[in-house]
């Protein structure tokens, strides 16, 4: 409430002195100079043959010149991969803000705590063994200078073919993998893993015991994510469906619609099913109560941060700044984010006469998730269509999961990441247009989808999706059930009603002095 206050600051003395200083500075800089000394203000003379490392300065041999070119090439790639990784790291802040904004104020320290600590647990788990399991057998990555030491993949022979199961090199980033390219790869892949790990914190928010969440954080970063990830990106058997069985280029997933988002979404589904809905979400007659989030601006800023970070997520997956396809990847990403948000908003506007901001945000994220696999392999119009379908899918999925399946997902994580993660790899199998990807997964020729004459690719993607769902759901559902039996994953009824901040975290996220955050509870039926 505004109570108009009248105050007129009088700072005459200071502003006079300030103006005099500014005028003097302008006079000094405007004075004409005859020479710039030894400096190079345009940059045209900076960087010459004298800067090429050579035994005789300024006279490099062809060998030395070649070395410099190769080194610069790898440097561009490595710097690009690292910078992209830093952008994806910032997405942790985006996820934290989206989840906190879409959940209630009384739980905010707990929600934020989970989103913060998952970053910590993820790094530790991935360093201990997650990276080794996922990339221990990936072999040489040329773009990063050869990544020597990642040559141990545990395989199984089936139908006369070699099935890569998981890697076994690089535990604790030991001295066998003490290589700049590998360290860059670790950082980049770690932030992708953390994106997966943070997805279930949204679906299970407002009732997850922090202790149980911490155990989960280690389990997903050390075992589950690396396992499926090895099969797609680590040289494992799903990526070899092309070389082994002639199915397109095997399962192709450029930046992780399945590896990152579908794994996260399926884990979220398993977790939400085991932990159960929030108190007051569903009535005995099955009707659904809305439990609105407490800070829409926070959630939308978080969505923008995620969209920004996605410019590292997708284009960074080339692992090479010298691969100029990054321009196509980035632009496809941007287009799909827009069509996703647009169609989700249109759907809500049409159905409920109001453009719900939370669905706008979910729509943009759905478009981004869906384009994550195909972004390098499709043209701009396909990117638009893929995003548009994602926008419609996410809204329909939210309703289906919330109202028909009666699974309480406070932020729509299952609909955004699970459903659209699957759509992303299927979309790749449909829309890949053959303009990129020659030699992908060891198969000659560019990556093409069903609409461009290659149904094998679509079937490979379908197999990938089915395997992802079955294995990840099986592992995570089993894990959550066991965890629930051993330590219990859900907080007590009193804690959930009062707010998790004090009982779980020991501090209140917001101080109580304003009445803004007082909640009027939805109808609670005493069980």
Site residues for another protein, 281-300, by CB under 8 A, read 288-290, 292
Residue 44 vs 290, nearer CB to another protein: 290
- Residue 403 binds another protein (CB under 8 A): yes
Question: In angstroms, rounded to a whole number, what is the distance separating the alpha carbons of residues 188 and 322?
Answer: 17
Task: Work out how close the CB of 416 gets to another protein at its nearest, in angstroms, rounded to a whole number.
Answer: 12
Min dist CB 1 to another protein, Å, is 6
Q: How many CB atoms lie within 10 A of CB 292?
A: 11
Look up residue 150 and give its DSSP letter.
-
Binding another protein by CB under 8 A: which of 189, 221, 358, 382? 358
Inter-helix orientation angle 263-275/420-431, to 10° = 150
What's the DSSP call for residue 165?
Answer: E
Nearest to 366 by CA among 326, 414, 430, 305: 414
Quote the CA–CA distance of 323 and 330 in Å, as a whole number: 12
> Are the C-beta atoms of 212 and 421 separated by less than 8 Å?
no
- What backbone torsions phi and psi does residue 307 show, to the nearest 5 degrees? -60, -40
Cα separation, 442 vs 241, in Å, equals 10
Nearer Cβ to another protein, position 292 or 488?
292
Distance CA 308, CA 478 (A): 35
For another protein, the closer CB: 155 or 289:
289
For another protein, the closer of residues 158 and 497 by Cβ is 497
Segment interacting with another protein (CB under 8 A) among 86-94, 146-154, 264-272, 354-362: 354-362
- Told to check if 99 binds another protein by CB under 8 A, we report no
Give the single-character DSSP code of 506.
S
Rounded least distance, CB 343 to another protein, Å: 16
Q: Which of 252, 298, 235, 210 is nearest to 457 (CA)?
A: 252
**CB of 354 vs another protein, minimal distance in Å:** 6
Complex with another protein: residue 168 or 522, whichever CB lies closer = 522
The binder of another protein chosen from 356, 408, 461, 496 (CB under 8 A): 356
Let me know: does 165 contact 230? Beta carbons within 8 Å. yes
- What is the smallest separation between the CB atom of 409 and another protein, expressed in angstroms? 10
Give the residue with the Cβ less far from another protein, 139 or 522: 522
Considering the complex, state which of residue 288 and residue 463 has its C-beta at the smaller distance from another protein.
288
Ranges within 313-352 binding another protein (CB under 8 A):
351-352
Q: Is 517 in the site for another protein (CB under 8 A)?
A: no
Q: Map the footprint of another protein across residues 38-67, applying CB under 8 A.
A: none
Buried/exposed 83-118: b ≥16 CB within 10 Å, e otherwise? ebbebbbebbbbbbbbbbbbbbbbbbbbbbbbbeeb
Q: Identify the H or E element spanning 379.
A: none
CB atoms closer than 10 angstroms to residue 288: 15
- Measured between alpha carbons, how far apart are the two ends of the chain, in Å? 40
Mark residues 154-193: x for contact with another protein by CB under 8 A, - for none. ----------------------------------------
Determine if 510 is a binding residue for another protein (CB under 8 A): no
Q: Please report how close the Cβ of residue 516 comes to another protein at its closest, in angstroms.
A: 9
Pairing of strands 161-167, 153-158: antiparallel
Q: Does the footprint of another protein cover residue 151 (CB under 8 A)?
A: no
Count CB neighbours of 82 within 10 A.
17
Q: Is residue 455 near another protein by the rule CB under 8 A?
A: no
Assess 5 for contact with another protein (CB under 8 A). no
Q: Using the rule CB under 8 A, is 280 a contact of another protein?
A: no
Residues at the contact surface with another protein, assessed by CB under 8 A: 1, 3-4, 288-290, 292, 351-352, 354, 356, 358-359, 398-399, 402-403, 412, 515, 518, 520, 522
């Amino acid at each position: 409430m505004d109570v108009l206050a009248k105050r007129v600051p009088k700072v005459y003395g200071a502003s006079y002195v300030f103006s005099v200083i500014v005028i003097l500075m302008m006079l000094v800089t405007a004075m004409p100079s005859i020479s710039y000394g030894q400096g190079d203000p345009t940059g045209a003379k900076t960087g010459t043959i004298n800067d090429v490392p050579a035994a005789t300065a300024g006279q490099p041999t062809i060998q030395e010149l070649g070395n410099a070119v190769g080194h610069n090439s790898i440097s561009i790639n490595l710097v690009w991969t690292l910078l992209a990784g830093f952008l994806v790291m910032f997405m942790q802040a985006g996820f934290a803000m989206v989840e906190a904004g879409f959940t209630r104020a009384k739980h905010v320290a707990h929600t934020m705590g989970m989103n913060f600590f998952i970053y910590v647990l993820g790094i530790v788990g991935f360093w201990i063994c997650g990276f080794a399991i996922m990339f221990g057998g990936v072999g040489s990555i040329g773009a990063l200078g050869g990544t020597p030491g990642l040559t141990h993949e545990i395989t199984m022979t089936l139908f006369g073919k070699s099935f890569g199961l998981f890697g076994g090199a690089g535990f604790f980033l030991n001295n066998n993998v003490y290589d700049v390219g590998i360290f860059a790869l670790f950082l980049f892949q770690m932030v992708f893993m953390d994106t997966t790990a943070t997805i279930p914190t949204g679906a299970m928010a407002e009732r997850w015991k922090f202790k149980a969440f911490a155990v989960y954080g280690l389990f997903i970063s050390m075992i589950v994510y690396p396992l499926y990830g090895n099969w797609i990106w680590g040289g494992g058997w799903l990526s070899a469906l092309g070389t082994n069985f002639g199915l397109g280029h095997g399962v192709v997933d450029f930046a992780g619609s399945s590896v990152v988002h579908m794994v996260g979404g399926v884990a979220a589904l398993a977790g939400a099913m085991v932990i159960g809905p929030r108190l007051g979400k569903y009535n005995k007659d099955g009707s659904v109560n809305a439990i609105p989030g407490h800070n829409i601006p926070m959630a939308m800023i978080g969505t923008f941060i995620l969209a920004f970070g996605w410019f590292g997520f997708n284009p960074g997956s080339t692992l090479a700044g010298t691969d100029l396809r990054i321009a196509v990847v980035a632009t496809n990403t941007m287009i799909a984010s827009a069509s996703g948000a647009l169609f989700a908003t249109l759907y809500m506007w049409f159905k409920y006469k109001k453009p719900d901001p939370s669905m706008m945000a979910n729509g943009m994220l759905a478009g981004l998730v869906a384009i994550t696999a195909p972004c390098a392999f499709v043209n701009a119009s396909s990117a638009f269509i893929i995003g548009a379908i994602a926008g419609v899918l996410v809204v329909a999925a939210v309703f289906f999961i919330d109202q028909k399946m009666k699974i309480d997902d406070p932020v729509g994580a299952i609909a955004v990441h699970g459903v659209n993660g699957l759509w992303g790899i299927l979309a790749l199998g449909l829309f890949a247009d053959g303009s990129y990807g020659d030699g992908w997964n060891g198969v000659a020729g560019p990556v093409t989808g069903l609409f461009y004459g290659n149904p094998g690719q679509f079937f490979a993607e379908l197999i990938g999706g089915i395997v992802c769902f079955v294995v990840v759901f099986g592992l995570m559902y089993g894990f959550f059930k066991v965890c629930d039996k051993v330590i219990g994953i859900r907080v007590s009824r009193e804690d959930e009603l009062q707010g998790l901040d004090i009982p779980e975290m020991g501090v209140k996220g917001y101080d109580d002095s304003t009445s803004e955050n007082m909640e009027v509870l939805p109808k609670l039926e005493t069980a």
